[in-house]
Chain A
Amino acid sequence: MASDVCPEQTVALRALPGQRERSIVLAARRGDADAFRELYSAYRDPIWTLVVSLVGDSSQAQDVMQNVFFKAFRGLGGFRFQSGLFTWIYRIARNECLNHLRRREVPYVPLEDVLGCGDEIDRARVSDLEEARRAALRDAVKHLPLKMREVVVLKYVEDLSYTEMSRILGCPPGTVASRLNRALAELETRLRPFKGLLL
């Protein structure tokens, strides 16, 4: 018999109590609008954070969000409770973001081209240091390779453990750790000219 909650599912990845989640999914499969609404309310914010962080642009994130929940709701009939619903939607969101970014083919823009270099940050474009700091961070993460970016987002934005990340990314925790190392080393390289700004 399928359990109400995947035994491996942890608190961080569970937005609804297991029994409630199950009954809502069953109701949503029958086309119950209130059930869809409840699922959306439960998962909207964390999925939005993930999508905005991965896509890097909130206007495009809206389209991705629509697609994520459209696919999730339409695919509920195929959800077999073998993983947590949240993990399942997370995976849909992640794949949708990656597809979107591949289609868009974000060109590589050196950070220095965006902000100016080191001490020569363009004060006319960036009104104050705090905004410059945010811009530097966002751009550094935004231009990481996809696999590095997502691991940074899952770790620092979603605050997931290695085990949780490995479940979403479908690779062993050790691989997640190695990927995170490479991502952080890359971040350090890209942010080195702005070190004084960030500390």
Chain B
Amino acid sequence: MRYPCFFLRKKFVSYLEGGVAPGEAKRLEKHLGACRECAELLARLRSGHEAGRQFGRLAPDAGHRPPEFEEIWAAICPTLDRPARPAMAGGRILQALSTPLAVRLLIVLVLTQAILLVVSLRKIPSPVVAGAVRTGDAPLLQGYAPVRIAEFSSNSEFRVVTEGFVEDVYFDEHEKSLHIKLVEVPQKHEPFVICEIRDLGSLTIPQPGDRVRVYGTARYDAQPGRGWHEVNPVLTLAVLKR
């Protein structure tokens, strides 16, 4: 399955319900005109959707009715001679952690860590990195293993930094995240890696054609119908060349 197909297909049911924005609908229809596989799938989903709607309108099986309250109460009542069960041990821990003092301590801890991280980032010089990932002008974060896009299939590192050319930038409305397809060589669709940005914050959104460096967690997405390497979530991103 091609990259745009995967994301557009998630909108098919919304499209059938008339629930996508006009611009998105046009984009989808344009794609359907060019992609036979997607057009065939949409036709199947249209039938499935109609069947689902009919199923939803069916009256419930009239054989039995839900139990009366008294039946359920009769089962519960004997166990209520003691107060309703208190929170489990884990729940009590969570309750303790949610006290105002614990929350304040947690906030202080997080802020301290964030400040330390920012300070350490500013101090890191641009080290020379062995391997194919170039340093460019942007600093490299410590603790991130440089991995070429083509090397993701044999990568065992968790925190990685990679570089590549942006082939596509796509905002997935369902996931509420920005997806960037990075390729190693411009105009060559493979090898590629999908970089998923969940929180844009102050990150610069790259444009197709940009060369970027991406830091984040390496994953392999093995859901049915797809299989590709991801940097997900992206921690930070630097545009090296525009």
Interface residues of A (CB under 8 A from B): 28-31, 33, 36-37, 40-41, 44-45, 47-49, 52-53, 57-59, 61-62, 65-66, 69-70, 73-78, 80, 133-134, 137-138, 140-141, 152, 155-157, 159, 162, 172-178, 180-189, 191-192, 195, 198-199
What is the bound-complex CA distance between A33 and B69, given in angstroms?
10
CB neighbours (8 Å) of A185 from chain B are: 41, 44-45, 48
Complex Cα spacing A181 to B80, Å: 45
Which chain B residues numbered 63 to 85 have a C-beta less than 8 Å away from chain A? 63-67, 69, 71-73, 75-77, 79-80, 83-85
Docked-complex contact A62 and B67, CB < 8 angstroms: yes
A76 to B60, CA, bound (A): 29
Question: B residues touching A (Cβ–Cβ < 8 Å)?
Answer: 9-14, 41, 44-45, 47-56, 58, 60-67, 69, 71-73, 75-77, 79-80, 83-88, 91, 94-95, 172, 174-176, 223-225
Say yes or no: B52 contacts A184, CB within 8 Å: yes
Q: Who on chain A is nearest to B92 by CB?
A: A78
Determine whether the beta carbon of A156 is less than 8 Å from that of B84: no
CB of B45 within 8 A of CB of A181, answer: yes
Do B48 and A172 touch (CB < 8 A)?
Answer: no
Q: Determine whether the beta carbon of A138 is less than 8 Å from that of B51.
A: no
Known: A40-B72, A65-B67, A77-B84. A159 touches B56 (CB 8 A): yes
- Contacts A77-B86, A178-B10, A188-B48; A162 near B174 (Cβ below 8 A): yes
Contact of A152 among B10, B45, B55, B73 (CB under 8 A): B55
Residue in A162, A173, A175, A183 whose CB lies within 8 Å of B48: A183
Report Cα–Cα, A192/B220, bound state, in Å: 35
29 CB contacts below 8 A, A to B, read A29-B83, A30-B84, A33-B77, A36-B69, A47-B66, A59-B63, A62-B64, A70-B72, A70-B75, A73-B72, A74-B76, A74-B85, A77-B83, A80-B91, A137-B55, A138-B58, A138-B61, A141-B55, A152-B55, A156-B55, A156-B56, A173-B175, A178-B223, A178-B225, A184-B48, A191-B48, A195-B47, A198-B50, A199-B50
Give chain B residues whose Cβ lies under 8 Å from the Cβ of A174. Answer: 10, 172, 174-175
Residue numbers in B under 8 Å from A176 (CB-CB): 174
